[in-house]
């Protein structure tokens, strides 16, 4: 809507009068007086949230500037903040003297680095006129804290647990997206818990997960992207206890008169592997382990009478339980297999 110059003048006079009347009724503006340049920044230093800074602000300015434009700048007036990087947000500053108008903003954080930046405000009006307010506010940005935690420190394979990833103080409207990495099982169900507080967002995600034995000492990571161009991640190492298991690669073989049995077992804590031989004589056991989840026990003994061999049993035990396996006896070594015939390797007996 355009007004002819005269009519606009009238409007201005009316507006001025109205302002004066409102101002004086609050005892802030005396008749014929005018506003002063005043700026109120709630604090000197403001900690940023993850993704943005919220700066409470209120100002006043003389009537002649009323068509002016308020400009936020970073560091000095030469570096105005682009409108793309900020948003006006009312309600951050409680009402003060009625002469003050709110100029609070939300400033997006695009880099997520730890740093302190200073901001100020100026008013531009008329053709070239500006007023730079003296007050400055500093914002301290810090890297977003993402927290990954478990309900219990020690997990058990096969038992469902809850893994939590949380971002405690996110900027509102920062649309967090969490991804999980490093888990061996695909069995998972996730629940999201966004909680909008007055000026920030508390976000957490719960993962219902059933660990597999291979998850022991796995590094799992929860990664979040949020705000404008930001991301954060947290990593933890899982401790997964599991029942002892005897692997199928466990076997016995006979070479001339030497019986060699290998029992490969997995479990956490590392299982204790032994051979409950019936009536035993001379035998020799060597135990080795990857120090992680696998134990390998090898025993060798001289066989005097082939008919006296009974199928060896390997027993594996840890605090979670025990298991045993009757090992297959691989006889090929005594059978003088013909060269090039690899098939006879599969001859098993037990």
59/299 with CB nearer ligand NAG: 299
Q: Under the criterion CB under 6 A, does residue 132 sit at the interface with ligand NAG? A: no
Residue 39: is the preceding peptide bond cis (ω within 30°)?
no
Backbone phi, psi, residue 76, to 5°: -135, 160
CA-based angle 24:30:36, to the nearest 5?
100
Dihedral of the CA atoms 217, 222, 223, 226 (nearest 10)? -170
Q: Under the criterion CB under 6 A, does residue 313 sit at the interface with ligand NAG? A: yes
Pairing assessment for the beta strands 105-108 and 86-88 based on DSSP bridges? antiparallel
> Least distance in Å: CB of 191 to ligand NAG?
16
> Least distance in Å: CB of 314 to ligand NAG?
9
59/141 with CB nearer ligand NAG: 141
Q: Which stretch binds ligand NAG (CB under 6 A): 135-143, 155-163, 197-205, 242-250?
A: 242-250
Q: Contacts with ligand NAG in 269-288 (CB under 6 A)?
A: 276
Q: How far apart are CA 233 and CA 109, in angstroms?
A: 17
Q: Under the criterion CB under 6 A, does residue 247 sit at the interface with ligand NAG? A: yes
Q: Under the criterion CB under 6 A, does residue 245 sit at the interface with ligand NAG? A: yes
Burial label, 40 (beta-carbon count in 10 A; 0-12, 13-18, 19+): middle
Q: Which stretch binds ligand NAG (CB under 6 A): 96-104, 182-190, 197-205, 240-248?
A: 240-248
Q: Under the criterion CB under 6 A, does residue 248 sit at the interface with ligand NAG? A: yes
56/213 with CB nearer ligand NAG: 213
Are 113 and 143 within 8 A, CB to CB? Answer: yes
Alpha helices by DSSP H, the chain: 5-25
DSSP state of 94: -
> Least distance in Å: CB of 90 to ligand NAG?
26
Other beta carbons within 10 Å of 13: 10
12/247 with CB nearer ligand NAG: 247
Q: Under the criterion CB under 6 A, does residue 149 sit at the interface with ligand NAG? A: yes
DSSP 156-169: ETTS-EEEEEEEEE
Instruction: Determine which residue in the list 44, 127, 278, 279 makes contact with ligand NAG, applying CB under 6 A.
Output: 127
> Least distance in Å: CB of 199 to ligand NAG?
20
Strand order of the sheet with strand 161-171? 147-150, 161-171, 200-209, 188-196
Instruction: Determine which residue in the list 44, 67, 82, 128 makes contact with ligand NAG, applying CB under 6 A.
Output: 128
Q: Under the criterion CB under 6 A, does residue 324 sit at the interface with ligand NAG? A: yes
Are 211 and 157 within 8 A, CB to CB? Answer: yes
Q: Which stretch binds ligand NAG (CB under 6 A): 1-9, 68-76, 142-150, 188-196?
A: 142-150
> Least distance in Å: CB of 246 to ligand NAG?
6
Burial label, 42 (beta-carbon count in 10 A; 0-12, 13-18, 19+): middle
Task: Kindly state the number of chain residues that form the binding site for ligand NAG, as judged by CB under 6 A.
Answer: 15
Q: Which residues bind ligand NAG (CB under 6 A)?
A: 110-111, 127-128, 145, 147, 149, 229, 245, 247-248, 276, 313, 315, 324
């Amino acid at each position: 809507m355009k007004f002819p110059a005269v009519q606009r003048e009238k409007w201005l006079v009316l507006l001025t009068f109205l302002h004066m009347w409102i101002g004086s009724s609050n005892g802030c503006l005396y008749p014929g007086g005018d506003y002063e340049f005043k700026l109120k920044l709630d604090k000197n230093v403001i900690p940023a949230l993850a993704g943005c800074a919220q700066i409470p602000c209120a100002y006043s300015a003389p009537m002649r500037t009323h068509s002016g434009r308020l400009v936020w700048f970073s560091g000095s007036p030469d570096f105005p903040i682009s409108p793309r990087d900020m948003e006006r947000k009312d309600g951050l500053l409680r009402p003060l003297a009625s002469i003050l108008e709110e100029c609070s903003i939300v400033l997006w954080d695009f880099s997520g680095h730890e740093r302190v930046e200073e901001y100020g405000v100026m008013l531009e009006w008329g053709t070239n006129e500006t007023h730079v307010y003296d007050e400055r506010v500093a914002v301290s940005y810090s890297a977003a804290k993402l927290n990954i935690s478990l309900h219990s420190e020690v997990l058990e394979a096969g038992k469902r647990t809850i893994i939590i990833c949380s971002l405690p103080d996110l900027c509102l409207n920062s649309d967090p997206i969490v991804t999980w990495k490093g888990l061996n099982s695909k069995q998972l169900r996730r629940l999201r818990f966004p909680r909008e507080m007055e000026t920030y967002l508390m976000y957490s995600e719960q993962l219902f997960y059933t660990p597999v034995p291979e998850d022991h000492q796995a590094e799992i990571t929860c990664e979040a992207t949020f705000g404008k161009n930001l991301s954060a991640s947290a990593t933890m190492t899982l401790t997964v206890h599991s029942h002892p298991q005897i692997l199928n690669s466990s076997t016995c073989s006979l070479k001339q008169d030497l019986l060699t049995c290998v029992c490969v077992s997995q479990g956490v804590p590392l299982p204790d592997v032994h051979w409950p031989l019936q009536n035993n004589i001379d035998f020799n056991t060597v135990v080795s382990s990857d120090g992680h989840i696998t134990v390998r026990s090898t025993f060798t003994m001289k066989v005097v009478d082939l008919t006296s061999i009974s199928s060896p049993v390997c027993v594996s035990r840890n605090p979670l339980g025990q298991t045993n396996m009757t090992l297959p006896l691989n006889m090929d070594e005594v059978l003088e297999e013909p060269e090039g015939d690899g098939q006879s390797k599969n001859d098993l007996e037990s």
